A and B are shown apart, each in its own frame.
Chain A
Amino acid sequence: MERFDALIIGGGVVGSATAREMARNKLKIGVLEKNLDICYETSGRNSGVVHAGFAYDVGSLKAKLCVEGNNEFGKIAEELDVPFKRTGKVLVGNSDEELRSLQNIIQQGEKNGVKGLTIIDKKKLHEIVPAVQGEFALLSPSSGITDPFQYTIALAENAAKNGVKYYFDHEVTSIHKNPDKTYTVMTTHGEFRTRWIINSAGLGCGKISEMMGISGYRIIGSKGDYIILDKRTGPLLPLPVYPVPSNTYMGIHVTPTTDGNVIVGPDAEAVTDFSYYGVPQKNMDYLAKSASNLWPCIRKADYIRNYSGILPKWVDDNGVIQDFKIEANIDLAPRTINLIGIESPGLTAALPIARHVIKLMSQQETFKPNEDFCPRRKSFVRFAQQSIEVKKALIAENPDYGEIVCRCEKITKAEILNAIHNPLGVNTMTGIKYRTRSMMGRCQGGYCQMRIAKMIEEELGIDTKDVLYARQGSNLFAGKIRNI
C-alpha cells in the first residue's frame, strides 16, 4: 500500500493548485482523480473568466481570495506559461434601477479591494464594444480571460514536476480513520495510506466530506449550458459583456476566449444529478435569444458546439447560497482540510485557496520547505502563433512541425506528439484536445481526429477498440474491420 503525507481528492483547478503549492514543502503528495484527466468536471466547464471580485459579499472568502487571485494572475500566467488577457469586463444596463444596482456593485467592489471600477456612458461603451446594445455600463478594468484547460493542466504539470503523483481513474469509495493518526483511503483501483486528506472534490465534496466524518453539508448543483461560436465572431467581442445582475431576471452574458471564439452562456438551473451534462434545445434557444438582447451577433450558422458545466453550491436550510467553506475540523477529522462549495470564483481564486489550505495545515503541523521546488512551467511551442522565421527554424530542426494535423487551428504533428507524451500520462482524445486545441475548430475533428486516433494507437500501443475519447467507456470505435 502506498503511503503519503498528503492525499488530495480531486485534481481539478483547486486540487491541482493545492498540490502545486503543497509541493513547496517537503511532503510526499498524491492526487486522486476519478476521471482520466484533470479538467473533465467543473474546472473544464466554465467560461474562463478571471473575475475582479466585485460580485461577492464584503468580507467573504470568495471576495478576498478572488481579489488576491485576480491581482496575481498576470504573474502566475507568465510563470506557468498559460494564456491570459486582462481584457476588462462591462456590465451593461439601460434603466435607472440598473444604474443604481451598478453603483451598489461599485461600492461593494471597492470595499473588497477592486480597483478602477467606473460607470461609462453610451459613447464610451460603444468605443469599447461597438456591437453591444446598452445605454451605459460598469467597466471593470481588472477582469480578464484565461484558458481554463491550459491553466488546470499547467498547475498539475508543475505539481507533477515538483514530485506530486497523479492517480487517474481512482475514485475514492471510502475513508477509514486508523488508530495511528493516519487514514486509509479506498479507491476503485487500490488503497492508500496518508496522514493528511484534502477534500477538493468539487461536485463530490459533500460525499467525500461525509466519508471523512463531517456530515450535514447540503450541496446543490447549478447547471449552466454554453454555446461556442466560430472565431469569425471573435472580432466583434473584445471583452466579456454581461447584463446587470438582478434577482428577478437572469440575463445571459457573452465572453471571448483566449483563442478568439465567443462563448454564449451560461444559464442556471438547479440540479441534483451531477453526471448529466446534456444541453436541451430550449436552453440553447434561450441562451441565444437572451444574449442577443445585449450582443445581437449570434447566428446559428456560427454555432460550433455546445457544452455544460455544474457548479457545486453550498446552501443552508433555506436554500441560500453560502460562501466558500475551507475548514480544518480537528475534532471530527484531524489533519484534513474540507473544501465545500467551491464554485465561481474558484478558477480565479485557485492559488489563493491553495495557500489558505496550506496555512490551515500549518496550524497543525510544521512543514520543511522543499529547496528544489521550481515554480516555473513551460508549455510546448504553438506553431501557429510563431513568426515566419521561428516557424522555419522549428521545421528545420524538427520536420514534424511542418506537418499540419489540425487544419482548422493549424496544429502540427510535433505538438500532437508532445501532447500524447504529456507529463501526466493522459492518453484520451480530449486530453490531446485540451493540451493542443486540436479538434476545437469549426470542423470539430472532422479532418484531424482520425489522424490523432492513429497517432495515439501507434505511439502508445493502444488497440483501436480501446481508444477513449474522455471518460471510462467512451470508446470511439468498435474495433478493426479486418483483423491482422
Chain B
Amino acid sequence: MEEKDVIIIGGGPAGLAAAVELYHKGIKNILVIERENTLGGILRQCIHDGFGLNRFKTTLSGPEYAQRFIDEVEKDNISYMTNTTVLSVGQDKVVTTVGRRGLKTYRAKAVVLAMGCRERTRGALGIPGERPTGVFTAGVAQAYMNLQNTMVGRNIIILGSGDIGMIMARRFTLEGATVKAVFEIQPYPSGLPRNIQQCLNDYGIPLYLSKTVTDIHGNSRLTGITVSDVDKHLNPIPGTEQDLDCDTLILSVGLIPENELSLEAGVELDSRTKGAIVDEYYQTSVDGIFAAGNVLHVHDLVDFVSMEAEKLADSVADYLHNQSLPKATISILPDTNINHTVPQKISGKNSFMLSLRVSKPLQDCVINICQNDKILKTKKITKAIPAQMIQIPIQKEILSDTGSLEVRVTC
C-alpha cells in the first residue's frame, strides 16, 4: 500500500490552501484527491466577484481566486488526482479511492477532510405539494448555468434570501429571465445586505420576509407556487395563502457539510454545525484526521476558508513532527445568543481563532470571553447577523489551562 504523509480529500479552496501551506512547511509527500475534472471546488462555478478582498486586497471572481492557489500547486509540483472519488476513509487513515485508472488504497499519517458542503433539498425541507420539474437548489442552478450552458427556467421565484439565492437572482436577470420575488422565512434576510442592494434592489426584485412556500403546483413542469405568511415560530399562518405563477422555484435554504466520509471514519459531528467537533488544531475526534472549510462549518468568505486551512496545515505539520498534538480538554460553551463556535474545545496552550455565528440579528452588543469567572477578552459589536461569521483571535497568554471557556453576548 502506498504511504503518504498527508492525504487531502477535496481540491477546493480549503484543500488547496492546506496543500500549499503544508508544502511550505516542508511536508512534500502530499496527495490532493478531487472528484471533479479540475481543481477549484465550488469556486469553479462562482463567476461573480467579491472574492479575495481580504486576502489579496482586490476583488476577484471565484475561478480567479482558485487559480491563485492552483498556480502554487502546479509550481510546487504538489501531487493531485482529479476525476477520483474517495470511497472510504478508515479510522486507521487508510483511504480508498476510485478513478478511471482503477481502485487504489493509500495509508496516510494524517488526513485532511476538505469536502465542502451540499445543499438542503426540497425533499429534506418537506415542502408539500406536487413534484414537477422546475424546482432547483440555487447551487445546482448556478452549476447548470455557469458550467453547462443550461438555462433552467424563465419565470422565477426564489425561496431563501441566502447569498447564493440572491447572487442567482442577479444572474438570472442578466440573462433575460424574470425573477418575480425572493421570499424569506425569517423576519430578517439571511444573506449580506450588500447582496440585497446589488442583486435585488438594483434590479427591482422585491424581498418579502416572514413568508414561506406552502404548496407547489404542476403535474409535469412547475406552473406555480403558494406562499404563506409565517408566525414568530416560523409556522405558516392559515388563511394567508397567496398563489403565484412561475415556471421555476429556486431554493436557497441551507448548506449542509458533506460528512458522509467523516462519519464512516468515526469522526464525531456537532449537531449545530453538522461538521466535525474540532480543537484549535482543527483535529477531529479521530487522531490524525483534521477538517477545515465548509465541511467543518459553512463559511461566507472564502478568504477565511483559506486562512483556516492554512492554520490547519500548520497544525498538521506539528502533528507529523511530534506524532501528536496537545490534548484539548477545555470546552468552549456559547450562550443561547450564539448558534455555534469553531473550535468546540481547546488545549488552552495556544493562541487560536474563535469563529462564531450569532443565532439572531443583534445590535450594539458586547461579546465576552470568560474563563473561571474572569473576563479574558471583550469585543464590541455594533451589528451582528447570522449571515456573517465573526472571528475573534484569542492570545494564549490570556488563557489558563483549566476551566471551560464561556462565550457570552450581552446587548
User: CB atoms of A and B under 8 A apart anywhere in the complex?
Assistant: yes
Could you tell me the distance in whole angstroms from the C-beta of B200 to the nearest C-beta in chain A? 21
When distances are taken between beta carbons in the complex, the residues of chain B under 8 Å from A395 are: 98, 100-103
When distances are taken between beta carbons in the complex, the residues of chain B under 8 Å from A391 are: 98, 103
When distances are taken between beta carbons in the complex, the residues of chain A under 8 Å from B132 are: 474
**Known A-B contacts A446-B119, A470-B220; A279 and B100 likewise in contact (beta carbons under 8 Å):** no
Could you tell me the distance in whole angstroms from the C-beta of A446 to the nearest C-beta in chain B? 5
Is A281 touching B214 in the complex (CB atoms < 8 A)? yes
Is A278 touching B216 in the complex (CB atoms < 8 A)? yes
Bound-complex Cα distance A471 to B103 (A): 38
When distances are taken between beta carbons in the complex, the residues of chain A under 8 Å from B131 are: 277-278, 307
Give the contacting residue for B149; candidates A388, A404, A471, A482; CB below 8 A.
A482
Could you tell me the distance in whole angstroms from the C-beta of B268 to the nearest C-beta in chain A? 15
When distances are taken between beta carbons in the complex, the residues of chain A under 8 Å from B87 are: 410
Is B151 touching A477 in the complex (CB atoms < 8 A)? yes
Is A473 touching B99 in the complex (CB atoms < 8 A)? no
Residue with the greatest number of chain B CB neighbours at <10 A, chosen from A227, A443, A447: A443
When distances are taken between beta carbons in the complex, the residues of chain B under 8 Å from A275 are: 219
When distances are taken between beta carbons in the complex, the residues of chain A under 8 Å from B252 are: none
Bound-complex Cα distance A303 to B236 (A): 20
Could you tell me the distance in whole angstroms from the C-beta of B246 to the nearest C-beta in chain A? 12
When distances are taken between beta carbons in the complex, the residues of chain B under 8 Å from A472 are: 220
When distances are taken between beta carbons in the complex, the residues of chain A under 8 Å from B236 are: 281
**Known A-B contacts A280-B128, A399-B100, A480-B150; A443 and B118 likewise in contact (beta carbons under 8 Å):** yes
Give the contacting residue for A478; candidates B99, B130, B151, B215; CB below 8 A.
B151
Give the contacting residue for B100; candidates A280, A281, A403, A450; CB below 8 A.
A403
When distances are taken between beta carbons in the complex, the residues of chain A under 8 Å from B83 are: 403
Interface residues of B in 75-107 (CB under 8 A from A): 83, 85, 87, 98-103
**Contact digits for B254-266, partner A, Cβ 8 Å, 1 yes 0 no:** 0000001000000
Cross-chain pairs A/B with CB under 8 angstroms, 24 sampled: A228-B123, A281-B126, A300-B126, A301-B124, A303-B125, A395-B101, A395-B103, A402-B98, A402-B100, A402-B102, A403-B100, A404-B98, A407-B35, A407-B85, A410-B85, A446-B139, A450-B144, A450-B148, A454-B148, A472-B220, A473-B220, A476-B152, A480-B149, A481-B150
Bound-complex Cα distance A29 to B230 (A): 56
Is A305 touching B123 in the complex (CB atoms < 8 A)? yes
Is A444 touching B121 in the complex (CB atoms < 8 A)? yes
Interface residues of A in 421-464 (CB under 8 A from B): 442-444, 446-447, 449-450, 453-454, 464
When distances are taken between beta carbons in the complex, the residues of chain A under 8 Å from B124 are: 301, 303-304, 442, 444
B204 within 8 A of A: no
Bound-complex Cα distance A446 to B125 (A): 14
Q: Which residues of B does A touch, CB under 8 Å?
A: 35, 83, 85, 87, 98-103, 118-119, 121-126, 128-133, 137, 139-140, 143-145, 147-154, 175, 214-217, 219-221, 236, 247, 260
Could you tell me the distance in whole angstroms from the C-beta of B69 to the nearest C-beta in chain A? 23
When distances are taken between beta carbons in the complex, the residues of chain B under 8 Å from A235 are: none
Is A450 touching B140 in the complex (CB atoms < 8 A)? yes
A292 within 8 A of B: no
A116 within 8 A of B: no
A276 within 8 A of B: yes
Bound-complex Cα distance A471 to B130 (A): 13
When distances are taken between beta carbons in the complex, the residues of chain A under 8 Å from B215 are: 278, 280
When distances are taken between beta carbons in the complex, the residues of chain A under 8 Å from B118 are: 443, 446-447
Give the contacting residue for A477; candidates B101, B126, B144; CB below 8 A.
B144
A233 within 8 A of B: no
Bound-complex Cα distance A275 to B144 (A): 30
Residue in A closest to B87 when the chains form the complex, CB atoms: A410
**Known A-B contacts A402-B101, A407-B35, A410-B87; A476 and B123 likewise in contact (beta carbons under 8 Å):** no
A71 within 8 A of B: no
Could you tell me the distance in whole angstroms from the C-beta of A221 to the nearest C-beta in chain B? 15
Residue in B closest to A227 when the chains form the complex, CB atoms: B126
Residue with the greatest number of chain A CB neighbours at <10 A, chosen from B83, B140, B147, B215: B140
When distances are taken between beta carbons in the complex, the residues of chain B under 8 Å from A307 are: 131
When distances are taken between beta carbons in the complex, the residues of chain B under 8 Å from A55 are: none
Bound-complex Cα distance A392 to B35 (A): 18
Is A471 touching B220 in the complex (CB atoms < 8 A)? yes
Residue in B closest to A471 when the chains form the complex, CB atoms: B220
Bound-complex Cα distance A388 to B118 (A): 28
Bound-complex Cα distance A480 to B147 (A): 11
When distances are taken between beta carbons in the complex, the residues of chain B under 8 Å from A469 are: 133, 220
**Contact digits for A335-356, partner B, Cβ 8 Å, 1 yes 0 no:** 0000000000000000000000
Could you tell me the distance in whole angstroms from the C-beta of B225 to the nearest C-beta in chain A? 12
Could you tell me the distance in whole angstroms from the C-beta of B292 to the nearest C-beta in chain A? 21
**Known A-B contacts A306-B123, A404-B35; A277 and B175 likewise in contact (beta carbons under 8 Å):** no
When distances are taken between beta carbons in the complex, the residues of chain A under 8 Å from B85 are: 404, 407, 410
| 12 more A-B residue pairs beyond the given contacts A391-B98, A449-B140, A471-B219, with a C-beta to C-beta distance below 8 A | A280-B215, A304-B121, A304-B124, A442-B124, A450-B148, A469-B220, A473-B219, A476-B133, A477-B150, A477-B152, A478-B153, A481-B175
Is A481 touching B149 in the complex (CB atoms < 8 A)? yes
Bound-complex Cα distance A410 to B260 (A): 12
A182 within 8 A of B: no
Bound-complex Cα distance A428 to B219 (A): 16
Is A443 touching B130 in the complex (CB atoms < 8 A)? no
Residue with the greatest number of chain A CB neighbours at <10 A, chosen from B121, B126, B132, B247: B126
